[in-house]
Amino acid sequence: MAAKTKASAGGKATYETAEELQKKIDKYFADGEKRGDVPSESGLALYLGVTLNTLRRWHDGERRVELQDVVEEAYARMTDVYMQLLLTGNKNMTPFVIFMLKQPRFAGYQDKVEAKQDISVDVKMGKNVEASDFA
């Protein structure tokens, strides 16, 4: 049986196992879906009782590496919700969704960058070739 969530000295929640964190994340998504809420990074952090910085560190594997896969999956779930909103949702949500999908922890999409390239070629002709041969 997984240990219960404990509060640290600063009053923030801590999770002893990845399974314990997974249950809390699953509840966040289930509760939000019942209310019709769009999940968010800050909403998840608040629900888990951790700072946004802590959540991001878990995601990036900078802290509590054993929680990284669980948190990455939560971000993937949020990304999926954003993609569904983009495809089927309210048009008023489109700017928000596009912005979120550009964030590195979500899809990391980028606007198309076009680079103009000018290429010049300098041809050196051999002994028996003259420029007039190409005219």
Q: pTM for the complete prediction?
A: 0.69
Instruction: Give the burial class of 64: count Cβ atoms within 10 A of its Cβ; 0-12 exposed, 13-18 middle, 19 or more buried.
Output: middle
pLDDT at 5 over 60: no
Burial 108-127 (b: 16+ CB within 10 A, else e): eeeeeeeeeeeeeeeeeeee
> What per-residue confidence (pLDDT) applies to 125?
67
- How far is it, in rounded angstroms, from Cα 77 to Cα 89? 16
> What per-residue confidence (pLDDT) applies to 77?
93
> What per-residue confidence (pLDDT) applies to 135?
67
The model's confidence at residue 2, banded by pLDDT at 50, 70 and 90, is very low
> What per-residue confidence (pLDDT) applies to 4?
42
DSSP string over the chain? -PPPPEE-TTS-EE-SSHHHHHHHHHHHHHHHHHHTPPP-HHHHHHHHTS-HHHHHHHHHTSS-GGGHHHHHHHHHHHHHHHHHHHHHS-GGGHHHHHHHHTSTTTT---------------PPP-TT--GGGG-
pLDDT at 9 over 60: no
pLDDT at 115 over 80: no
> What per-residue confidence (pLDDT) applies to 1?
34
- 38-97: per-residue pLDDT in tens? 899 999 999 999 999 999 999 999 999 999 999 999 999 998 888 888 888 777 888 888
